[in-house]
Structure formats: structure tokens, C-alpha cells
Copies of this chain bind each other. A is one copy, B any other.
Amino acid sequence: MEEQIQEIKRFNRFYIKIMGILSLYADGSSFSATEAMILYETSNKKDCTAKYLSNYFVLDKGYISKILRKFEKRELIERVTSSKDRRVQYIYLTSKGREELKKLQDRANEKVEEMIKDISEQDVGVLIESMNKIEALLETKNRRD
């Protein structure tokens, strides 16, 4: 048991490092990692709201609000007040927002390609299977929508 915990922690350290090196979505400068994740989640989540983002990323709602304002200034998103509850604003990517997100994603794709470029096709299969197993085993927990 103790030993298993150590192995899991070792993996976590390892993977933190991998992700740091990948810096997925860290493209030069136009978005911070957090901003990129928010942009992505906005497109991913149906009828996304500030509150959802704040819960999902466990980030202060004031901070989320500021990021969204910036996005709005840059015309990456638009906000539509809910007709049911006028406190709520749904967030949607504009076409420019989708474009920018796509650029980020393309860049992230390249980094992942780079990461696996020396791994045989078969081993990439093993890699993904392993990832899926981990996800399946851990995922039922930590659900919060």
C-alpha cells in the first residue's frame, strides 16, 4: 500500500514535468495556460457560464470575470443573458474565438506529435490504452458540473 502510494506520487511528479515541458496551449504569448483552458472549456461546455468555469477550474469568480472581460474585448466570446434568469450569462465563442482556439489546438497537436514521434505505432497504442485505463479507474470520482 505504502509502496503503491509512492509509485503514484512518482508518476504524478513525472507527469507534471511532462506537461510542463509540453506546455500545451502555451503558444508564445497571446494566451496564458489558464486562459487557454478557459477558452477551450467555453467551447467544450454547452451553455457555459462564469460560475461553471469558476467551479470547474476552482478559480476565483472575480478572476474568471476579468478573463472573460478580456476575451470579450478581444472579441473572442460573446455573452448572452439567460432569459430564464437574468443574473446568468451564457458564454459563446465568436468565430474569431473559434479561430484562435483552433490555432492553439493545432499548436498543441504539434507538441503531442513531437512527444510521440519516436514511439512505435504499436507503443503509442499501448500508451493510449494505459491512459484510458487510468482515466477509467479515476474518473468516477471528481465529477463536478
Which A residues are within 8 Å of any B CB, using their own CB?
1-2, 4-5, 7-22, 24, 37, 40, 57-58, 108-109, 112-113, 115-116, 118-119, 123-135, 137-139, 141-142
Contacts and interface: CB of A to CB of B under 8 A. Distances in A.
19 contacts: A4-B124, A4-B125, A5-B112, A5-B113, A7-B131, A8-B131, A9-B108, A10-B135, A11-B132, A12-B19, A14-B135, A15-B15, A18-B142, A115-B138, A119-B137, A123-B137, A127-B134, A130-B131, A130-B134
For this chain, the copies found in one complex come to 2
B130 A115 contact: no
Nearest to A8: B112
A140 to B, nearest CB: 8
